[in-house]
Each structure stands twice: as C-alpha cells, then as structure tokens.
C-alpha cells in the first residue's frame, strides 16, 4: 500500500475550516487565486507525487546514497524525479514572479511539501532547503549575488544547503569556528569543517549553493561574531571551488538523503548581509524552514496512518466485542479496525493529522499575510502568530510523527516491524525531524524564553485572545477551549513570576509549556473543524477523530498544566522560605 495524496482533505480544511480562498484574495498578489485554481494546482501536485515521488521511496531507503571519491550518488530514479520536479515548475511555485517564480500562495507550496515528505522524505530533503536559501539571499544578498543565484534557486536548477553545525558546536552556534578572510576582490576565503550537512554533495544539480556560518578575522567570540557566507560548489567561471564532502553519515533512517561531513579548504565565497549579522540573516528563513519541518511531520504521520488504516480494513483477527459490526458478514473474525484498541490508534492519529494541518495551513496563510497585507497591523498580527506558533508546530508535529507512526506500526503487529508495508521506514525517517532545524527542546526554549517571557506574555496573550475571539462561547466545545486559553494566559504570568525567583524554572517547564500550547491550539482547531460547514460525508469522516481528540489527546492538557503549576508553586514556596530565613 503506497501513500496517495487526498486533495479533498486539504480542500475541506482550506475552504470550510480556514476560509482560505477569501483571505488570500484580499492580498494583492493573489486576487485571482480562487478555489478552482487551488484545486487545479493541488490536483496536478497530487498526481505528480503519486506517480513520480512515491514509487522511489522504498528503494531510496534500501539502496540509499553512495559515497565514493568525494562524490555522492543518489538512489535509483532520484535524478530523473528531481528533473521532473524542476521541469514541472514545482520549486518555483511560491517564488516571486520577478525571479521566474509562479507567485502562488505559500499555503499551496506547504501542501505540496507535506505530500512530498509523506511520499518520500529522502527525496524531499533535496529541495526542502531551497526556499530558505532563496529567502535569505533575497533579503540579505547583494545585487550581484541576487542576480547570480536567485533565478537558479527559484527554479531549482541549483540546490542549496545550510552549513551551521560543527563537530564541537551542535545546538551552540556561538562556538562556530569556521573562518572567512576577506580578499582584495571583495570575496572571502572560507576554511573550516561542518557536519550534518543535508545535501552537502549529490548528483541532482550541477551546482550547490552553500550558506556557511563563519567568523571573520577579529570577530568577537560567541553568536555575535558570526557572519554568513555564500560558497558555491561551482565558481562563476565554471571552476570547481575548494568545497569537499569527506564522507556521508550512516543513519537510523533517511538513507536517501546524504548527510555530509564538509570541508571548506580556503574556498571562495561572498558575504551575505553584514559582518557579524550571520545569525540574523539565517533567522530570516527560520519560520519558513521550521514550518516546513512541521509539515514533514504531518505528512509522515499521514503516510503511516494511511498504511495502518488500509491494513486494519483488510486484516481479520478475532471477534470484536459488542454488537456485530456490519463488516462481519459471514466471517468468523472481524476486521481489526473494529477492535477498540486499533480504532483508538487510528482515530487518535487522524485527530493529530487534521488538527495539525489546520494549524500549519493557517501558519502558511499567515506567512503570506505577513508579507503582503496592505494593513500594517494585520501584517504584525500575522508575524506574531508565526513567531509563536512555528516552534510549537515544529516540535509537536515532529514528536507526533515519530510516536504516532510507531502507534500505526503497532496496528500491523509483526507485519509492521518488517519492511513489507514500509511503515518501519517511516518511523526511522521521522525520528530525525525531532532533532534537525533546532531540536524540539530548543523549540520549547525558543517559545518560552524568547517569545513569551521577554514581553511578559503580551504577544502570547494577544495570540490567545485572537483565538478566543474566533470561537463561539454558545457552543459547548468552544466554551471549553476558551477556558483552556484563559488558563494558558494565566499560566504565563505564573511562570514569569516564578522565573524571577529561579532562572532555571522556565527551562525546566519549557517542554510542558510547549505541549500545553499545542494542545490548546489543537483544541481550537478541532472546535473550528466542528463548526465548519461540512458535507455529511466530511462530517462522518471526522466524528471518530473528534471524539478521540477529546477523550484521549486533550486530557494531557490538565496533566501538563498541573506539572507546570506545581513547579512554579515549588519555587514560590522555596523562595518564601528563603526570604523568611533571611529575615529571621
């Protein structure tokens, strides 16, 4: 059973839940993006993914990338599939028309990448970093760099990498040592080693554009001393630059994507943005890249769900308890989909997929609003949403991709543990999404320590109030969600106060806090789905997942809330005890 995109699911969320067509039409570049155009694009994308991308997934895992003499060979069929991807204009879907792009909304690009990741995570890694590099050069590159690199990146003729990590500097980019020395001709000589570079070397495109975090001479220690250099594999005159792939990693999964150890041997490069502002230049692409990873998570979970659902609809084992299900007929054993333990897994993971999609597509819409809305306040609100919600989605969707895919594997029992159905590959592939683009723990710290606490929860409260206002307190479900949103606002204050007494506290509760925000967001999303103008078939398909969400997913909210609250109270108590001691 192979993954197949189901555009009708996206259409329901875009139209009935998010009212995307009318929101997009209100933005200048998208005045003619109507439902028909959306459906046409998604229909073509679904066909491309199903026919070209999906069939290469298993061999991509089994054969993997090969390394020899500094060169990387991608798995069978990958060159042709990537060529078809470029020829179909898919990399340029949301790129600006002035760079040769099609100028379509980000949300359509998001859906295409969700499907691509579900079908073939390894292949999708190749163009996955393109868009961040494009945005980074577009915002921070010199005119010369833009002219030389933007069109080829927009079209996907060339691919790109982000070279951040060094062996001793993983999450701690301030420790980066790669150095870049300015030359008389305005170029840089870049020297150093980088690890974990996805697509650092491959045979898909003739040139690879590396964005390299580095340090200029006399730069201060720490993150403020970092600059960003563009270092191409092929120099403008066609010569090979001194950029070398030393080896590729043997990994748990994602074998179809080469994870490279790179060496820059006095390679030629050019500064992007200002000296010492390398992190700022990289952060431009952060929200888009993290949302991209969240979408990978959603896609992978959906792919696992499709396999588990298909298996559960054909495998018969024992009689299900309770009244005879219609599917029994004259069979001695029932479909395992009728067994409560299996039903629970399927409905719960479906609840995650649909709820997370609603939030991720809304975020993609907000990226367009932030870029194109005529109203500055609307742009600001959209940016605020993206800043706060993106780390939440990155962490929670990738966590669920791995854990939910493992649950789906369980539906297949021993048949899930062997290669046959391809579901164990999803579990292995998905695991890395919890690590790259900032580990999930770093997302939680980003959320609480950088987004929520610095303004004493003001931006977070604004997002929560916005969510509240989109609900209808007369509906029972909505009122419950509103109560949770209010709890979250209050909890922000509690954490801020406790953090004054103990600076470790917010780091200790950051993961719980992120989960709380995600659960509240999911509850909001399911309230919106419940309230949507759905056809009877659309409604019926979501009754089980909606109930599963309330019964089995949402109770984690109270648990996490209690954990955070007790941690804060513990601080308050020990602080009070400390003060009492000082006074006595």
Query: Can you read off the two tokens belonging to residue 306?
Result: 């499709």
Residues 387 and 546: their CA atoms lie apart, in Å, by 28
Nearer to a second copy, 110 or 426 (CB): 426
Max Cα–Cα distance, the chain, nearest Å: 84
- Round to whole Å and give the CA distance between 150 and 289: 18
Segments of 476-550 assigned E as strands: none
Q: What tokens does 5 get? A: 């995109």
The rounded distance, in Å, linking the Cα atoms of 500 and 498 is 5
Q: Cβ–Cβ contacts within 10 Å for residue 230, how many? A: 25
Could you please report the per-residue DSSP string of 208-220? EEEEEEEE-TTPP
Of 111, 123, 115, 122, the residue nearest 84 (C-alpha): 123
Smallest distance from a second copy to CB 147, Å: 35
Name 232's bridge partners.
Answer: 209
Minimum distance between the CB of residue 191 and a second copy, rounded to whole angstroms?
Answer: 22
Gap between the Cα atoms of 464 and 462, Å rounded: 5
> What stretch of H or E contains 12?
none
Residue bearing tokens 């927009």: 154
Phi, psi of 119 (to 5 degrees): -80, -35
Choose between 467 and 564: whose C-beta lies nearer to a second copy. 564
Whether residue 166 lies in the annotated active site: no
Q: Which residue has the tokens 């590959």?
A: 425
47 vs 419, which CB is nearer to a second copy?
419
Between 62 and 266, whose beta carbon lies closer to a second copy?
62
Minimum CB distance to a second copy, residue 55 (Å): 19
Which helix H or strand E contains 98, and what residues bound it?
A: none
Residue closer to a second copy (CB basis): 76 or 174: 174
Min dist CB 303 to a second copy, Å, is 16
In the numeric block, which tokens belong to residue 32?
A: 């003619």
Least distance from C-beta 507 to a second copy, angstroms? 4
Answer whether 94's CB lies under 8 Å from 108's CB: yes
Quote the DSSP letter at residue 433.
G
403: Cα separation from own chain's centroid: 16
- The burial class, CB within 10 Å (0-12 / 13-18 / 19+), for 16 is middle
Return the number of the residue (241 or 440) whose C-beta is nearest a second copy: 440
Q: 121-128 and 78-87 helices cross at what angle (nearest 10)?
A: 50
User: E strand or H helix at 193, and its extent?
Assistant: strand 188-198
Supply the minimum distance, in Å, between the C-beta of residue 579 and a second copy: 18
Q: Based on CB atoms, which residue is closest to a second copy, 45 or 495?
A: 495
168 by Cβ neighbours in 10 Å (0-12 / 13-18 / 19+) ranks as: exposed
Integer Cα distance of 110 and 290 in angstroms:
11
84, 55 in Cβ contact below 8 A?
A: no
| Shortest CB 33 distance to a second copy, Å | 39
Q: Which is nearer to a second copy, 261 or 488 (CB)?
A: 261
Kindly tell me which of 372 and 515 has the beta carbon lying closer to a second copy.
Answer: 515
Nearest approach, Cβ of residue 442 and a second copy (Å): 9
Question: One of 437, 441, 466, 508 is an active-site residue; which one?
Answer: 437
CB of 86 to a second copy, least distance (A): 29
Angle between helices 505-531 and 556-583 (to 10 degrees): 150
Catalytic residues: 437
């Amino acid at each position: 059973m192979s993954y197949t995109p189901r555009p009708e699911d996206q259409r329901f969320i875009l139209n009935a839940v998010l009212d995307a067509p009318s929101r997009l039409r209100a933005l200048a570049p998208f005045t003619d993006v109507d439902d028909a155009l959306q459906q046409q694009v998604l229909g073509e994308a679904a066909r491309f993914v199903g026919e070209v991308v999906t069939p290469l997934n298993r061999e991509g895992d089994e054969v993997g990338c090969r390394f020899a003499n500094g060169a990387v060979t991608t798995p069978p069929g990958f060159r042709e599939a990537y060529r078809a991807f470029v020829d179909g204009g898919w990399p340029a879907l949301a790129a600006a028309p002035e760079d040769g792009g099609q100028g379509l909304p980000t949300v359509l690009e998001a859906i295409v990448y969700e499907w691509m990741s579900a079908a073939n995570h390894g292949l999708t890694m190749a163009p996955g970093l393109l868009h961040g590099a494009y945005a980074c050069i577009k915002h921070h590159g010199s005119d010369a760099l833009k002219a030389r690199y933007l069109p080829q990146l927009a079209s996907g003729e060339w691919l790109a990498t982000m070279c951040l990590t060094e062996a001793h500097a993983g999450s701690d980019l301030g420790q980066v040592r790669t150095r870049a020395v300015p030359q008389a001709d305005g170029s840089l000589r870049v020297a150093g080693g980088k690890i974990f570079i996805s697509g650092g070397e491959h045979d898909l495109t003739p040139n690879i554009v590396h964005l390299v975090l580095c340090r200029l001479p006399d730069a201060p220690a720490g993150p403020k001393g970092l600059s960003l250099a563009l270092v191409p594999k092929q120099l403008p005159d066609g010569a090979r630059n001194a950029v070398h792939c030393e080896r590729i990693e043997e990994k748990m999964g994602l074998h179809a994507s080469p994870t490279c150890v790179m060496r820059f041997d006095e390679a030629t490069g050019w500064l992007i943005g200002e000296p010492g502002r390398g992190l700022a230049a990289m952060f431009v692409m952060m929200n888009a890249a993290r949302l991209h990873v969240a979408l990978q998570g959603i896609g992978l979970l959906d792919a696992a769900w499709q396999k588990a659902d298909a298996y559960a609809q054909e495998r018969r084992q024992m009689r299900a308890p309770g009244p005879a299900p219609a599917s029994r007929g004259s069979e001695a054993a029932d479909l395992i989909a009728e067994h409560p333990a299996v039903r629970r897994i399927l409905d719960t993971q479906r609840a995650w997929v649909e709820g997370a999609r609603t939030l991720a597509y809304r975020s993609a819409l907000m990226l367009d609003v932030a870029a194109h809305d005529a109203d500055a306040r609307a742009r600001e609100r959209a940016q605020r949403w993206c800043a706060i919600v993106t780390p939440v989605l990155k962490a929670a969707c990738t966590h669920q991709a791995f854990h939910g895919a493992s649950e789906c594997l369980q539906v297949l029992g021993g048949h899930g543990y062997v290669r046959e159905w391809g579901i164990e590959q999803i579990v292995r592939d998905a695991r890395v999404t919890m690590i790259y683009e900032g580990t999930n723990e770093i997302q939680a710290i980003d959320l609480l320590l950088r987004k929520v606490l610095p303004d004493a929860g003001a931006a977070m409260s604004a997002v929560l109030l916005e969510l509240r206002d989109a609900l209808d307190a007369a509906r029972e479900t909505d009122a419950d969600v509103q109560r949770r949103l209010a709890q979250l606002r209050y909890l922000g204050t509690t954490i801020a106060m406790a953090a004054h007494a103990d600076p470790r506290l917010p780091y200790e509760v950051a993961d719980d806090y992120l989960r709380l925000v995600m659960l509240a967001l999911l509850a909001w999303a399911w309230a919106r789905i419940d309230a949507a103008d759905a056809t009877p078939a659309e409604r019926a398909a979501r009754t089980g997942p909606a109930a599963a969400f309330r019964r089995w997913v949402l109770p984690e909210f109270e648990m996490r809330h209690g954990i955070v609250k007790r941690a804060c109270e513990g601080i308050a108590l020990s602080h009070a005890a400390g003060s009492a001691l000082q006074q006595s």
